[in-house]
Amino acid sequence: MRNTGPSSLGEHQRTQRLLWLIRLRWIAAGCLFVVLTAARFPLGLRIPAIQLYIGNAVLLAVNLAYRMLFRRLLSRANRFIAIQINLDLALLAYLLHFSGGVENPFAVFFVFHMIIAGTLLAPRSAYLEAGAAFVLFAVLLAGERAGFLPRPLVPGFSPAAGAGTSLSYLVALLTAAAAALLGAVYLSSTIAERLRRRDRELETAILEKSRYVQQVSHDIRGSISAIQSCLRVVLDGLGGPMPDGARSMVARAERRSRSLLEFADDLLYLSLLRAGEAIGKEPASISGLFGELALGMQAEAQKRGLSLVAEDLSGGKTIAADAEAIRRALRCLLLNSLQRSPAGGTVTARAESAPKEIRIRISDTGPRLSDEELPHVFDDFYSGETGGGLGLAIAREVARLHGGLVRVENGPQRGCAFIVTLPS
Amino acid sequence: MEQKAKILIIEDDQDVSEAMRVALEARQYQVDSATDPQLGLGKVRQWRPNLVILDVMFGRRQQAKGFEAAIQIRRDPEIAAIPILMVTAVNVKYPGFNFSPETDGEYLPVDGFIEKPVQPQDLVRQVEELLAGKTSRWKQWPKSDA
């Protein structure tokens, strides 16, 4: 059986889970403070305030420590979560004891911890947590009943002395506690396991689809490549003389096959990105990439009667990136802006450095995008009035794989700007 | 008309191979071809071409047999000096196999790379340069990692 606990997860998922647990604890600590204060003042219950506020403060302090330590302990997330849950159980027992004893309506909170354990830990570890919670509950109950852990009575809240002293009541209480703890772990871990299995199936399906697309686009690419090679030989006159009419038709076929080849290339590249096979990060200078690309695209801009202005204000900052992927993404964005702009227009590309990121803004003088178009510009095969193909989808995927994003916004009067943000 | 150098094309896509053959024969080169690296190696030993044009990926399963063939040519002292022009689909990462001429190419005993789709003018230019002995990058092979 595969280990389905957090250790088998990716770093991103482990981070999310740990942060979720820490967030839950902030909420719990906040609620505890409100309840304690309400019990003390508006309700006027005589609770042992100092001990309970100390418990509250400890909860806040340990959570702060978890938050500060979590990156370092990410590689041992499974054990880190188990330790947190154990400490939470101990703190809950402490708070229950000082708020009138473990026979307390708030004892139901043990179940929350079991749900958390069932969701975040491997089933075996979660059942161990249920065992630990039960032992804690039983020991506290026995201690309070036998008198070696005298519970502070809260008048008006604690059960009256002598209530529920029969053996059958105690057996029922312990049985109910054991059933609730085990039941919570069983249900939550079963549901979590089903969801995880569904996730894995989905991931596999996406990967298979991606491989299928890779294979198809690779095969198509091979054939178009052969067609291109043959047509180039004919157009270069190496296959013998050809009448002008025939040459014009062959030239059309060659142009079409070239754009089909670019499409197959894009499709193959996008599917590789999505299968996680095309990215390898190394320090890359945005200035270098940017300058090289802006220079390389000048001919394309001139051909379309456009001016291409490149401003590099990134200050030579280096980021961990796949240089080829970034070059490809920026090329797609620049090409898109050049295609969108009518002759005589300007495309401006500006690279800027911000404290924790690098921003590349490519603005054009083409038409503004409609409200219907804006959310779909980066979709696969997006083909509105002013764009098409897979270039923008590639740009989005590359940005995402670098922990950044790409967005589009309309200019005040005309044109729009595509903005790529990459963490530095 | 005087026949120029002998060129062997080892390429499994017969259409690409034929396109290269026509382009080279138009420049009076003597051209022969093979669709498989093993057959190609046999022809290299028998025919002794002045240049070998070698594809990287072969067969339906797209195996990178071209690299192995290049190494075999270099290991045979009889044919080791024949320049090799390698045909690659640059910018394409095959599923489960990544190759970039700019980086990995330094480690290969070949003399030049040509991109698919093959542009005839580019092919002829590279062939002329190699036959004139303008590049001999493989002589540094194997390049050490140090």
For residue A289, what pLDDT band results from cuts at 50, 70 and 90? confident
| pLDDT tens readout for residues B19-33 | 999 999 999 999 999
Chain B residues inside the 8 Å CB shell of A277:
93, 95-96, 98
- Residue of B15, B33, B57 to mutate for A, most A C-beta atoms under 10 A: B15
Residues B118, A229: C-beta atoms closer than 8 Å: yes
For residue A312, what pLDDT band results from cuts at 50, 70 and 90? confident
Residues B13, A226: C-beta atoms closer than 8 Å: yes
Express as a percent the part of chain A with pLDDT over 70: 94
Complete domains list, chain B, with CATH: 6-133 (3.40.50.2300)
- Total-model pTM: 0.68
Average pLDDT, chain B: 82
pLDDT of residue B100: 56
For residue B144, what pLDDT band results from cuts at 50, 70 and 90? very low
For residue B137, what pLDDT band results from cuts at 50, 70 and 90? low
Chain B residues inside the 8 Å CB shell of A268:
92-93
Q: What is the CATH number of domain A282-423?
A: 3.30.565.10
pLDDT > 50? residue B96: no
Residues A226, B117: C-beta atoms closer than 8 Å: yes
A363: nearest Cα among A379, A380, A346 = A346
- Residue of A208, A238, A260, A279 to mutate for B, most B C-beta atoms under 10 A: A238
Residues B95, A215: C-beta atoms closer than 8 Å: yes
For residue B106, what pLDDT band results from cuts at 50, 70 and 90? low
* Pairing relationship of beta strands B30-34 and B6-10 according to DSSP bridges: parallel
For residue A355, what pLDDT band results from cuts at 50, 70 and 90? confident
Residues B23, A268: C-beta atoms closer than 8 Å: no
pLDDT of residue A218: 82
For residue A125, what pLDDT band results from cuts at 50, 70 and 90? very high
pLDDT > 50? residue A188: yes
Residues B93, A226: C-beta atoms closer than 8 Å: no
- Residue of B13, B21, B22, B114 to mutate for A, most A C-beta atoms under 10 A: B22
Tell me what ipTM this predicted complex has. Answer: 0.80
Residues A233, B95: C-beta atoms closer than 8 Å: no
A-to-B residue pairs, Cβ atoms closer than 8 angstroms:
67
pLDDT of residue A160: 66
Please give, rounded to a whole number of angstroms, the shortest distance from the CA of A393 to a CA of chain B: 18
Chain A residues inside the 8 Å CB shell of B94:
218
| Interface subset of B 74-133, CB within 8 angstroms of A | 89, 91-96, 98, 100, 116-121
Residues B120, A224: C-beta atoms closer than 8 Å: no
Express as a percent the part of chain A with pLDDT over 90: 47
Q: Residue ranges per domain, chain A?
A: 6-165, 282-423
pLDDT > 80? residue A9: no
pLDDT of residue B143: 46
Residue A363 tokens, joined: 């603005």
Span A349-359, mean pLDDT? 88
pLDDT > 60? residue A341: yes
Span A133-146, mean pLDDT? 90
For residue B112, what pLDDT band results from cuts at 50, 70 and 90? confident
pLDDT of residue B145: 41
In chain A, which residue's Cα lies nearest the Cα of B120? A233
Average pLDDT, chain A: 87
> Which of A25-29, A299-303, A318-322 is the most confident on average?
A25-29
